[in-house]
């Protein structure tokens, strides 16, 4: 039942393919209707049976040549009448749809197809007219012999006209009637092939990441698609310009805030040293801690703007990931010691260095944020394990802590800027993992969050290995 409901919902959804297919079928149906209408009009204006002079002349010749033999004349006219009925598809002269033939010689009616039809008289010879005879209307024509007083009248009932048209001109209509149901698939296939450029534009747009604002590479030659692609590229350009202005504003504001924050810290530290009042010293200590958080937020904003910036001056360089990680661990060792957290580095020495191609400052920022987060959320006396290794054609950096971890439903959202776990008690800006994600994306890698073996959070970064040999890294401790 659910499958049927899904199919019905899918069918009810508006579809451009279905719209074009229905348009094609409608055009075919309209052309077919117009053809039938034209055929009926032509049949009414010029009835098929009545327009052939040779039929009339043959009946006149039979009547004249056998005038001296009435019996043979009647038999011959009856045989010709039967043959005429058979050619139009009706072998029963008594049928309501059968045509009738009446022959006169002088004022005497010498032959009639059936006595059930009264005498039909045309007002003007040799012209097709609508004549009322009995309770029916007939389309009738009378031809008079130019050499004698013999005249022949042929008539068709008006209700029979459509049948006569279909039977006599069926070779025009029958192929169309038979092939119409089979035109659906060719029409669908032609529409699908015609929409291939549209699907190519849609595919390239769908494959774009949120940070990719470059113009579409596909430039269709079709005049219907060119305005669409130009509009998309124009929109991307406006978004790119707006994003660039936003980043410049944030970077300038963050840069300008560093100076007053540094000056504030110097002044507060000087006042704290000169004050002997414990209450004031405690307030100034709180002020310094707030200053530290503000300075850290400003620094992370600058890191985020640098990680998002795309500049031709920041060319990638070959570097050893394990050497970079060891260097950053040495810089962060003091912070770990202050929080009584031990740092452990594990390198895969047997396979040599782990070379990557990237921007050193951005990668250093990524490593710092991963390790700082692990230290901040790890309980005292625990260990943060940093592992660098090769995995196929990728370099893998993993950082495991013993903290509270992140619930699975939030492991994608924490990469959003300024988003933090609502249950987290530690202070923070919500920019650390956003910086990591931005750096990893720029280097063509991926970052995932999971659960560490002993509990806590496991952050794993995979970056493409460099093809060339990297410089010799520092030895792992």
Mean pLDDT of the 255-269 span = 77
Assigned domain for 110 exists: yes
Residue 422: the pLDDT is 61
C-beta of residue 82 within 8 angstroms of C-beta of residue 62? no
Give me the CATH number covering residue 419: 3.30.565.10
Mean pLDDT of the 238-248 span = 77
Number of domains in the chain: 3
**Are both 290 and 324 inside the same structural domain?**
no
C-beta of residue 125 within 8 angstroms of C-beta of residue 144? yes
- CA dist., res. 101 & res. 84, Å (int): 10
What are the tens digits of pLDDT across the range 130-147?
A: 888 878 888 899 999 988
Residue 77: the pLDDT is 92
Map residue 133 onto helix, strand or coil. Answer: strand
Residue among 147, 153, 148 nearest 111 (CA): 153
Residue 363: the pLDDT is 87
What are the tens digits of pLDDT across the range 145-202?
A: 988 889 999 988 875 555 555 555 555 566 666 766 777 777 778 877 877 887 888 8
**Are both 89 and 141 inside the same structural domain?**
yes
Local confidence band at 397 (pLDDT 50, 70, 90 cut-offs): very high
- CA dist., res. 42 & res. 24, Å (int): 27
**Are both 282 and 358 inside the same structural domain?**
no
Residue among 72, 101, 77, 76 nearest 88 (CA): 101
Residue 317: the pLDDT is 80
| Res. 305: pLDDT tops 60 | yes
Residue 176: the pLDDT is 62
What are the tens digits of pLDDT across the range 72-106?
A: 999 999 999 888 887 765 556 566 667 899 999 98
Backbone φ, ψ for residue 49 (5° rounding) = -75, -30
- CA dist., res. 125 & res. 144, Å (int): 7
**Are both 303 and 330 inside the same structural domain?**
no
Most confident segment among 164-173, 253-262, 269-278, 347-356: 269-278
Local confidence band at 474 (pLDDT 50, 70, 90 cut-offs): very low
Most confident segment among 76-85, 198-207, 355-364: 76-85
Range of the domain at 382: 317-464
What are the tens digits of pLDDT across the range 428-453?
A: 666 778 888 888 888 888 999 988 88
**Are both 296 and 334 inside the same structural domain?**
no
Give the global pTM: 0.47
Burial 316-355, CB ≥16 within 10 A → b, else e: eeebbbbbbbbebbeebeeebeeeebebebebbeeeebbb
Give me the CATH number covering residue 246: 1.10.287
**Are both 258 and 347 inside the same structural domain?**
no
**Are both 439 and 346 inside the same structural domain?**
yes
**Are both 326 and 453 inside the same structural domain?**
yes
Domain boundary at 168, 188, 216, which?
168
**Are both 338 and 453 inside the same structural domain?**
yes
- CA dist., res. 194 & res. 215, Å (int): 24
* DSSP H or E stretch at residue 398: strand 394-400
Assigned domain for 259 exists: yes
What is the dihedral angle through the alpha carbons of 323, 324, 325, 326, rounded to the nearest 10 degrees?
A: 50
Assigned domain for 151 exists: yes
Assigned domain for 392 exists: yes
Residue 252: the pLDDT is 66
Kindly report the number of other CB atoms within 10 A of residue 441's CB atom: 18
Domain boundary at 270, 285, 308, which?
308
């Amino acid at each position: 039942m659910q499958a049927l409901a899904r199919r019905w919902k899918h069918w009810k959804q508006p579809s451009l393919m279905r719209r074009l297919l229905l348009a094609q079928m409608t055009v075919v149906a309209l052309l077919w209707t117009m053809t039938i209408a034209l055929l009926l009009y032509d049949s009414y204006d010029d009835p098929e049976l009545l327009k052939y002079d040779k039929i009339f002349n043959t009946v006149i010749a039979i009547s004249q040549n056998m005038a001296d033999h009435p019996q043979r004349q009647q038999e011959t006219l009856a045989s010709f009448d039967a043959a005429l009925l058979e050619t139009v598809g009706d072998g029963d002269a008594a049928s309501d749809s059968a045509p009738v033939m009446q022959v006169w010689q002088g004022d005497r009616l010498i032959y009639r197809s059936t006595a059930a039809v009264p005498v039909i008289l045309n007002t003007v010879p040799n012209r097709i007219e609508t004549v009322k005879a009995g309770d029916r209307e007939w389309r009738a024509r009378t031809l008079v012999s130019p050499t004698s007083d013999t005249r022949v009248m042929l008539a068709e009932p008006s209700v029979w006209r459509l049948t006569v048209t279909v039977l006599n001109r069926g070779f025009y209509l029958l192929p169309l009637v038979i092939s119409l149901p089979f035109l659906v698939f060719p029409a669908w296939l032609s529409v699908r092939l015609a929409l291939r450029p549209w699907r190519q534009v849609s595919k390239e747009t769908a494959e774009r990441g949120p940070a990719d604002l470059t113009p579409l590479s596909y430039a269709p030659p079709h005049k219907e698609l060119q305005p669409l692609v130009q509009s998309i590229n124009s929109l991307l350009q406006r978004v790119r310009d707006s994003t660039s202005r936003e980043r410049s504003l944030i970077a300038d504001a963050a840069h300008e805030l560093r100076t007053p924050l540094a000056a504030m810290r110097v002044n507060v530290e000087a006042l704290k040293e000169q004050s002997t009042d414990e209450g004031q010293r405690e307030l100034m200590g709180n002020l310094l801690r707030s200053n530290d958080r503000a300075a850290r937020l400003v620094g992370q904003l600058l890191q985020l703007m640098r990680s998002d910036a795309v500049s031709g001056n920041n060319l990638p360089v070959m570097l050893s990931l394990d050497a970079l990680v060891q260097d950053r661990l040495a810089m962060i060792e003091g912070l770990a010691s202050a929080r009584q957290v031990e740092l452990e580095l594990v390198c895969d020495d047997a396979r040599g260095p782990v070379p990557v191609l990237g921007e050193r400052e951005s990668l250093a920022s990524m490593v710092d944020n991963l390790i700082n987060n692990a230290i901040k959320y790890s309980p005292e006396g625990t260990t943060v394990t940093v592992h660098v290794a090769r995995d196929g054609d990728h370099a893998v950096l993993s950082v495991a802590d013993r903290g509270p971890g992140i619930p699975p439903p939030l492991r994608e959202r924490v990469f959003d800027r300024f988003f933090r776990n609502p249950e987290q008690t530690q202070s923070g800006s919500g920019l650390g993992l956003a910086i990591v994600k931005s750096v990893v994306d720029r280097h063509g890698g991926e970052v995932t969050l999971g659960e560490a073996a002993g509990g806590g959070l496991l952050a794993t970064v995979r970056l493409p290995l460099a093809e060339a040999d990297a410089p010799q890294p520092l030895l792992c401790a």
